[in-house]
Amino acid sequence: MLLAAVIAWSLLFTGIALASPVLDRPQGTAQLENKAGPQPAKPQRAMTLKERRAQVKRLRAPTSGRQVISGLTGDTISSLTGDTVVLSTKGDAQTHKAKPSADSAQKEQSHNAVAPAALPPVTGMTMTPRDTRNFPIEWGFPRWTYPAGAKAVHRALYRESDDVKVDESCFVPPDGNLGTDGGFMLYDAWGIITPGEKYYLKVAVASSATSTTDDWTCGTGWSSEVKSPSKAAEGPGLASVSLPSEETYGCTCADHTTGRAPVQGFLGDPVNTATSALNESAVDAEVSAPGVSFSLQRAYDSQNPNAGLLGKGWAFVYDIRLQIADAKVTYIAENGSRLSYAKGTSADSYRATSRGVTSKLSGSTSSGFTLTTLQGEKLKFDGSGKLAEWKDRTGSGLSFSYTDGDLSSITDAVGHTIKLTVDPASHLLTRADLPGGRSVGFDYTAGQLTSVKGTDGGTVLYGYTDGFLSSVTDNAGKVVMRTAYDTDGRVTQQTNAYGKTSKVLRSTQETDYEDANGGIWTDVYKGSLLVSRIDPPGNVTTFHYDSSLRLRDAVDAGGNHTTLSYDARGNLLARAEGV
List, for residues 413-446, the tens digit of each pLDDT value: 999 999 999 999 999 999 999 999 999 999 999 9
Which domain-ending residue is among 176, 203, 232?
Answer: 232
**pLDDT on residue 65:** 42
Residue 237 lies in a domain: no
Residue 67's alpha-carbon distances to 36, 78, 79, 231, 390, in angstroms, are 41, 16, 14, 17, 52
287 in the same domain as 253: yes
Residue 320 and residue 380: Cα distance in Å, rounded? 11
**pLDDT on residue 19:** 59
DSSP state of 308: E
262 in the same domain as 136: no
Residue-level pLDDT, tens digit, the chain, 579 residues = 222 333 333 333 344 555 566 555 543 333 333 333 334 444 458 899 999 988 888 777 543 344 444 443 333 333 333 222 222 222 233 333 333 333 334 444 444 444 445 789 999 999 987 654 455 667 888 999 999 999 999 999 999 998 999 888 898 988 888 889 888 876 554 456 777 789 999 999 999 999 888 889 999 999 999 999 999 887 655 656 889 999 999 865 545 799 888 899 999 999 999 999 999 999 999 999 999 999 999 999 999 999 999 999 999 999 999 999 988 999 999 999 999 999 998 889 999 999 889 999 999 999 999 999 988 999 999 999 999 999 999 999 999 999 999 999 999 999 999 999 999 999 999 999 999 999 999 999 999 999 999 999 999 999 999 999 999 999 999 999 999 999 888 999 999 999 999 999 998 899 999 999 999 999 999 889 999 999 999 999 988 888 788 888 888 888 788 888 888 777 888 888 865
Side chain identity at 346, as an amino acid letter? S
DSSP 468-506: EEEEEE-TTS-EEEEEEE-TTS-EEEEEETTS-EEEEEE
Side chain identity at 316, as an amino acid letter? F
Residue 368 lies in a domain: yes
**pLDDT on residue 94:** 32
Residue 493 and residue 512: Cα distance in Å, rounded? 12
Residue 2 lies in a domain: no
300 in the same domain as 340: yes
Residue 404 lies in a domain: yes
* Domain boundaries, position 68: 63-232
Residue 16 and residue 18: Cα distance in Å, rounded? 7
259 in the same domain as 190: no
Which domain-ending residue is among 184, 199, 232?
Answer: 232
219 in the same domain as 161: yes
**pLDDT on residue 97:** 34
**pLDDT on residue 541:** 93
Relative to beta strand 417-422, strand 277-287 is unpaired
Residue 511 lies in a domain: yes
Which domain-ending residue is among 208, 232, 256?
Answer: 232
Whose CA is closest to 290, among 201, 186, 396?
A: 396
562 in the same domain as 530: yes
Q: 419 near 404, Cβ under 8 Å?
A: no
Residue 47 lies in a domain: no
The sign of the dihedral angle between the CA atoms of 48, 50, 54, 59 is positive
493 in the same domain as 544: yes
346 in the same domain as 257: yes
**pLDDT on residue 140:** 82
359 in the same domain as 504: yes
Residue 57 lies in a domain: no
Residue 56 lies in a domain: no
Query: Which residues are bridge partners to 493 per DSSP?
Result: 484, 503
Residues 6+ apart with CB under 8 A from 572: 13, 14, 564, 565, 566
How many Cα atoms are found within 13 Å in the side-chain-facing hemisphere of 563? 11
29 in the same domain as 133: no
Total domains present in the chain: 2
CATH number at residue 185: 2.60.40.10
Q: Tens digits of per-residue pLDDT, 301-336?
A: 999 999 999 999 999 999 999 999 988 999 999 999
381 in the same domain as 434: yes
**pLDDT on residue 573:** 86
pTM of the model: 0.70
165 in the same domain as 81: yes
Burial tier of 41 (Cβ tally within 10 Å: 0-12, 13-18, 19+): exposed
